A = this chain, B = another copy of it.
Amino acid sequence: VLEQQPFITLLTDYGLVDEFVGILHGVIASICPQARVIDLTHGVPRRDIVAGGAILAQNIRYMPVGIHVAVVDPKVGGTRRAVALKVADGRVLVGPDNGLMWGAAQVCGGIEAAVELSSSPWRLQPTSSTFHGRDIFVPVASHLATGQPFEQAGEPLDPAQLVVLERPPSRREGETVVAPVLRFDHFGNVQLAALLDELTVPFGTRIRINLPSGDTATAQLVNTFDDVVDGAALLFEDATQRLALALNQGSAERRYNLKAGDEVRITPVDA
């Protein structure tokens, strides 16, 4: 699937203030000048493997098939493995073996082969202890983009040994959907690990939300933000088809003091 202009995508928690992302682009251009690079995001909350993994898994289908680098790597320089994963739909994922890429690999049909990269012949040397994006992950991705064989990237690794990161599922309890908080966007919208279909009520229904703090809130299930007044709470189907809790023109994350992994209980008020 690697034609003349292979695609490399990048997802990191590096932010865009420092020069780290620019360096990744320079390393790619130096090794594989014909590669096209897409910055999926560099705004993953720092060291948040769960959020980074969710962003990658939810959106990889919008990326062209290519080499997909993901770096949220709090244990960089330690004993965690560095890996490249060949998945069933023809993509290759490159990053730390800490679960970050697990969800995306499942979305892409599962892992067909894995290699460990710590001693990859393609790594930059000297290899720093703190910037494996520059020294290992991106050089490996760039060499793969030139068409070099996957097996030559490093040592073979049994996929059964990879770190697994399963996201907590939602569940039904009578009329109530119990949904873990998955992540936040920078508007403070709260994405839940539940789908619209799990709430078997029509748009317009008022919903009681029991928060982990013991407090209760009321929100309306609606199609768009514009369906409620400013400051009002709403539940809507977000762009990834998941239920999300929001305040029109405000931050539900702050108002309800939620963090990832918290469970909220969602009950139609008429139930």
B30 touches A225 (CB 8 A): no
B130 touches A239 (CB 8 A): yes
If A43-B19, A129-B223, A129-B236 touch, whether A38 touches B59 (CB-CB below 8 Å) is: no
A98 contacts chain B at the CB level, 8 A cutoff: no
- Chain B hits for A236, CB < 8 A: 129-130
Classify chain A's interface size: 35 or more
The smallest C-beta distance from A182 to any residue of chain B, in angstroms, reads 14
A29 touches B7 (CB 8 A): yes
B77 touches A226 (CB 8 A): yes
- Chain B hits for A63, CB < 8 A: 26, 29-30
A64 contacts chain B at the CB level, 8 A cutoff: yes
A259 contacts chain B at the CB level, 8 A cutoff: no
A220 contacts chain B at the CB level, 8 A cutoff: no
Interface residues of A in 17-32 (CB under 8 A from B): 17-19, 21-23, 25-27, 29-30
B15 touches A186 (CB 8 A): yes
Whole-angstrom CA separation of A19 from B11 in the bound complex: 9
A128 contacts chain B at the CB level, 8 A cutoff: yes
B17 touches A238 (CB 8 A): no
B25 touches A129 (CB 8 A): no
**Selected contact of A129 from candidates B11, B17, B130, B224, CB within 8 Å:** B224
A26 touches B62 (CB 8 A): yes
Show the binding face of A for B, using Cβ within 8 Å: 5, 7, 9, 11, 15-19, 21-23, 25-27, 29-30, 33, 36, 38-43, 55, 59, 62-64, 74-78, 126, 128-131, 134-135, 185-186, 223-226, 236-239, 241
A-B pairs with the 6 shortest C-beta distances? A77-B224, A131-B239, A22-B40, A17-B43, A19-B41, A26-B63
Known: A18-B186, A25-B38; 10 extra A-B contacts, CB below 8 A, are A22-B38, A22-B59, A26-B38, A26-B59, A26-B62, A26-B63, A126-B241, A130-B239, A131-B239, A135-B239
25 A-B pairs whose Cβ atoms sit less than 8 Å apart in the complex = A7-B33, A9-B26, A15-B186, A16-B42, A16-B43, A18-B41, A19-B40, A19-B59, A21-B41, A22-B40, A23-B62, A26-B38, A26-B63, A30-B63, A30-B64, A33-B36, A62-B134, A74-B226, A75-B226, A77-B226, A78-B226, A128-B239, A129-B237, A130-B236, A131-B239
